[in-house]
Amino acid sequence: MSKSKSSETVKVVVRCRPMNEKERDAKFGRVVAVDVKLGQILVRNPKEASSSDHPKVFTFDSVYDWNSKQIDLYDETFRPLVDSVLLGFNGTIFAYGQTGTGKTYTMEGVRNDIERRGVIPNSFEHIFTHISRSQNQQYLVRASYLEIYQEEIKDLLSKDQTRRLELRERPDTGVYVKDLSSFVTKSVREIEHVMNVGNQNRSVGATNMNEHSSRSHAIFVITVECSELDVDGENHIRVGKLNLVDLAGSERQTKTGAQGERLKEATKINLSLSALGNVISALVDGRSSHIPYRDSKLTRLLQDSLGGNARTVMVANIGPASYNVEETLTTLRYSNRAKNIKNKPRINEDPKDALLREFQEEIARLKEQLEKRSGKKKKRRQRKRAGEGSDGEDLEDGETEDDDEEGDDKGDWREQQEKLERERKAIMEDHSLVAEEKVLLLKEKEKKMEDLKKERDAGEMLAAKVKAMESKLLVGGKNIVDHTNEQQKMLEMRRQEIAEQKRREREMQQQMDSRDEETLELKETYSSLQQEVDIKTKKLKKLFAKLQAVKAEIHDIQEAHINERQELEQTQNELTRDLKLKHLIIENFIPLEEKNKIVHRAYFDEEDEYWKTRPITRIEDDHQMMSRPLSAVGYRRPLSHHAHTAMMMRPAMRYKAENIMVLDMDLPARTTKEYQEPVIAPKVAAALESALRDEDEIQVDASGFHSSLGSTLPPGASLKKPKSGRPRTGKKSSTPTSPFSPSSPGSPLYPQSRGLVPK
Ligand code: ADP
Ligand code: MG
């Protein structure tokens, strides 16, 4: 599937931007010196006394000073990479560095200025020019644009800018972004438009574009697919992918005192960058077998570019001013390490997911359909002609089959339409037909015409589709003899040659320098002992200085490590504090039972790197939960069997479906007492009883009086004597207000007052 090639290292170049106005106004010193010839960056640290005579030296593949032109960078460093993408390699360009050092300037530059436009627009031009000059090749160019901010991936080309995308991995093609939109582009203008749309979306969400861009990574992806027939006439497809990455600013994000959301944000912002650093360290180290690609989205997505099958160029951007010296040194050390990463670039030949192949197959399928249609038509026409007999149309038959198929089709269609029209007219004019019959025949003809039209439309649509698809496939070789084109090509070649020459010179110079030091000693012969001592002393001094420089470097690096560790510890402490709060809440305010349930259901999704909870029904070992609850019948509301039993067993409200509220009248507490009649001494009682019994015998004749009084008597009252002779203890009879108490002496009609009853 792929041609393997020997390994090559990641190419690292450093670019130092000019002093900006602010820095000039503030009269900051320049601490960076750039030796373009030797490919070296020299940094003086103003804080260290010895550094003025012993600057720190870093050597790179090539370096660019403040006078460097965008096009020089492109020709020398990026053009070869883009060329290999056109051959089917994967390629990646990273811009790394502190905010404000020219990452975006290097990647995008000033868009409409040919002199100052960056790698991305230059590569557009390069790719489409290459295609236009190609011969016997078919190309398909696609572009995608995404952003990683706080470990979330956003598709800058999609309509829905709130959506976050996920990373997925497939064994055959590796890591990819699921549902990332990509647009097929046919020209420089189109792909520029795609970039502009993405850039607009990038700035829309951000309140402060500068801050946002310094905290997010933007990746512009161009996929170039190329199909070519080999000598055996077999079709081969090569796919090259170019990742153009504008990284987040490498300066440390301050997170002192941050808590909660802010802390999380701060820890996430640089996560991808520190993960990138860890990946680089692990790759360079050689001892570690585990490369922590999975630690961040960026490193996962660009896994191929770091120790994988891609070609990679890293541009480290630095500023020249003294106040940035720490960051500058950090950047240089970081990129110095990246120099040693080894990649094994290889051509992606005939990958399964090539869109070009799908396009070709689809076009072939549609063409076949079209052919079938026209074939059918031809047959029909021939049949028709055979029926009609030849009338001058034989000429057309003599034409070759594929001679202007479309024109033929159109002629055919028009002819049929005309014929139908003629028939229609004939029917209209034919007086021998009954009206109804006419209508019927007319309808039939109209339907036929409609069918004919439909068929034609479908055919046209098919043809248009084929055309549209074919137009997306780019073929070159049109203006190959164009004079200016030829000249331009020559110019480019010259420039490339010069760039190559420069590169070789630099390499030779670097090699010579290192060899000089090694061989100096061997070659030298000494005329006298004194001379030998002198020369050796000089050498010793030189070596001693070198030793000191290395020691200082070690010290610096250690210091940087300590700082980093302290910061990590601080972050850890803050996270632990956060965790303790969560613990407090869980342990004290969430029932243990509930917590256990959640713990039982939770699992870690490696793909998304999130904890998730399984749906309840899938808990395998808890069968009770798996069965659907039975329903209890006979209630006004739907009630499960479980609730029904629980209702019976427990008096609590939990399962009561009805009459949960007690709606009885709430009577107030009583404030009065029952009446208690006085206790009568037994002697008195006996006397009274006897007296009452005597009274029983008294006969009163009150018939006349009774009749006159009858109407005024209350209905319950009667003059009849009570049958029992016992003293009344019932409530009614003992009430002192009863007007006919028989116990009253004196007048038989009106009871005497008994006076107040003592309590
Ligand atoms: P970054 O993307 O790294 O934060 P920018 O690319 O936005 O930095 O650059 C900051 C400023 O410096 C911009 O105004 C840019 O035009 C200017 N600049 C950067 N590099 C250069 C350069 N090599 N030549 C001229 N101007 C530059
Ligand atoms: Mg930027």
3-state secondary structure 363-403: HHHHHHHHHHHHHHHHHHHHHHHHHHCCCCCHHHHHCCCCC
> Quick one: pLDDT band at residue 320, thresholds 50, 70, 90?
very high
More confident residue, 201 or 230: 201
Coil, strand or helix at 35: strand
What local confidence, expressed as pLDDT, does residue 373 receive? 75
Q: What are phi and psi of 405, to 5 degrees?
A: -55, -45
- Per mean pLDDT, which range of 10-24, 89-103, 298-312, 508-522 is the poorest? 508-522
How far, in Å, CA of 316 to CA of 298, rounded?
A: 17
Q: Check whether 172 has a pLDDT greater than 60.
A: yes
Ligand nearest to the CA of 103: 1
Task: Say how many Å lie between the CA of residue 346 and the centre of ligand 2.
Answer: 31
> Quick one: pLDDT band at residue 14, thresholds 50, 70, 90?
very high
Angle at 315 between CA 314 and CA 320, to 5 degrees: 145
Nearest-CA residue for atom 17 of ligand 1: 102
Q: Check whether 287 has a pLDDT greater than 50.
A: yes
What local confidence, expressed as pLDDT, does residue 382 receive? 61
What local confidence, expressed as pLDDT, does residue 629 receive? 67
How far, in Å, CA of 42 to CA of 441, rounded?
A: 96
Task: Say how many Å lie between the CA of residue 609 and the centre of ligand 1.
Answer: 36
Alpha-helical runs (H) found in 590-640: 592-601, 623-626
Q: Check whether 82 has a pLDDT greater than 90.
A: yes
> Quick one: pLDDT band at residue 315, thresholds 50, 70, 90?
very high
Q: Check whether 521 has a pLDDT greater than 70.
A: no
Give the HSE-up count for residue 457: Cα atoms under 13 Å, Cβ half-sphere.
6
Task: Say how many Å lie between the CA of residue 219 and the centre of ligand 2.
Answer: 12
What local confidence, expressed as pLDDT, does residue 512 receive? 84
Ligand nearest to the CA of 97: 1
What local confidence, expressed as pLDDT, does residue 360 receive? 83
Q: Check whether 118 has a pLDDT greater than 50.
A: yes
More confident residue, 685 or 610: 685
pTM of the model: 0.69
Task: Say how many Å lie between the CA of residue 316 and the centre of ligand 1.
Answer: 13
Residue 94: its H or E element: strand 90-97
Task: Say how many Å lie between the CA of residue 14 and the centre of ligand 1.
Answer: 14
Q: Among the atoms of ligand 1, which is closest to the Cα of residue 97?
A: 3
What local confidence, expressed as pLDDT, does residue 532 receive? 83
Q: Check whether 726 has a pLDDT greater than 70.
A: no
The candidate with the shortest Cα–Cα distance to 329, out of 155, 151, 563, is: 563
249's CB contacts (< 8 A; 6+ apart) are 97, 98, 99, 100, 103, 214, 215
What local confidence, expressed as pLDDT, does residue 574 receive? 87
Please choose from 17, 21, 213, 215 the residue to mutate so as to test ligand 1's pocket, defined by most ligand atoms within 8 A of CB: 17
User: Which of 75-89, 255-269, 621-635 is predicted most confidently?
Assistant: 75-89
> Quick one: pLDDT band at residue 730, thresholds 50, 70, 90?
very low
Please choose from 70, 93, 105 the residue to mutate so as to test ligand 1's pocket, defined by most ligand atoms within 8 A of CB: 105
Q: Among the atoms of ligand 1, which is closest to the Cα of residue 15?
A: 23
- Per mean pLDDT, which range of 174-178, 308-312, 486-490, 603-607 is the poorest? 486-490
Contact 118, 72 (CB under 8 A): no
Task: Say how many Å lie between the CA of residue 156 and the centre of ligand 2.
Answer: 16
Locate tokens 């990819």: which residue?
176
Q: Among the atoms of ligand 1, which is closest to the Cα of residue 64?
A: 23
Ligand 1 proximal residues by C-beta, below 6 Å: 17-18, 97, 99-105, 214, 249, 317
**pLDDT for 240-276, tens place per residue?**
999 999 998 888 766 555 566 666 666 676 778 888 8
Q: Check whether 393 has a pLDDT greater than 70.
A: no
Nearest-CA residue for atom 16 of ligand 1: 105
What local confidence, expressed as pLDDT, does residue 741 receive? 43
Nearest-CA residue for atom 10 of ligand 1: 100
Q: Among the atoms of ligand 1, which is closest to the Cα of residue 16?
A: 23
Task: Say how many Å lie between the CA of residue 248 and the centre of ligand 1.
Answer: 14
How far, in Å, CA of 319 to CA of 689, rounded?
A: 129
What local confidence, expressed as pLDDT, does residue 466 receive? 84
What local confidence, expressed as pLDDT, does residue 725 receive? 45
Mean pLDDT of 292-300: 89
How far, in Å, CA of 238 to CA of 88, rounded?
A: 5
Q: Among the atoms of ligand 1, which is closest to the Cα of residue 70?
A: 23
**The dihedral sign for the CA sequence 433, 439, 441, 442:** positive
Coil, strand or helix at 701: coil
Q: Among the atoms of ligand 1, which is closest to the Cα of residue 66?
A: 23
What local confidence, expressed as pLDDT, does residue 241 receive? 92
How far, in Å, CA of 104 to CA of 71, rounded?
A: 15
> Quick one: pLDDT band at residue 637, thresholds 50, 70, 90?
confident
Give, in order, the Cα–Cα distances in Å from 309 to each of 173, 342, 345, 480, 662.
12, 10, 4, 33, 77
> Quick one: pLDDT band at residue 223, thresholds 50, 70, 90?
very high
Nearest-CA residue for atom 18 of ligand 1: 102
Task: Say how many Å lie between the CA of residue 100 and the centre of ligand 2.
Answer: 7
Mean pLDDT taken over the chain: 79
First-to-last C-alpha distance (Å) of the chain: 118
Mean pLDDT of 5-24: 88
Nearest-CA residue for atom 9 of ligand 1: 102
Q: Check whether 319 has a pLDDT greater than 90.
A: yes
What local confidence, expressed as pLDDT, does residue 390 receive? 41
Percent of the chain with pLDDT over 90: 21
> Quick one: pLDDT band at residue 367, thresholds 50, 70, 90?
confident
What local confidence, expressed as pLDDT, does residue 748 receive? 56
**pLDDT for 528-583, tens place per residue?**
888 888 888 888 988 888 898 889 888 888 988 898 888 889 888 988 998 999 99
Which class for 638: exposed (0-12), middle (13-18), buried (19 or more C-beta within 10 A)? exposed
Task: Say how many Å lie between the CA of residue 26 and the centre of ligand 2.
Answer: 23
C-beta contacts of 461-464 below 8 A and 24+ residues apart: 462/366, 462/369, 462/370, 462/373, 463/370, 463/406
Q: Check whether 3 has a pLDDT greater than 50.
A: no
> Quick one: pLDDT band at residue 66, thresholds 50, 70, 90?
very high
Mean pLDDT of 124-142: 89
> Which residues, listed in sequence order, are joined to residue 246 by a DSSP beta bridge?
95, 218
Q: Check whether 724 has a pLDDT greater than 50.
A: no
- Per mean pLDDT, which range of 191-205, 263-277, 585-599 is the poorest? 263-277
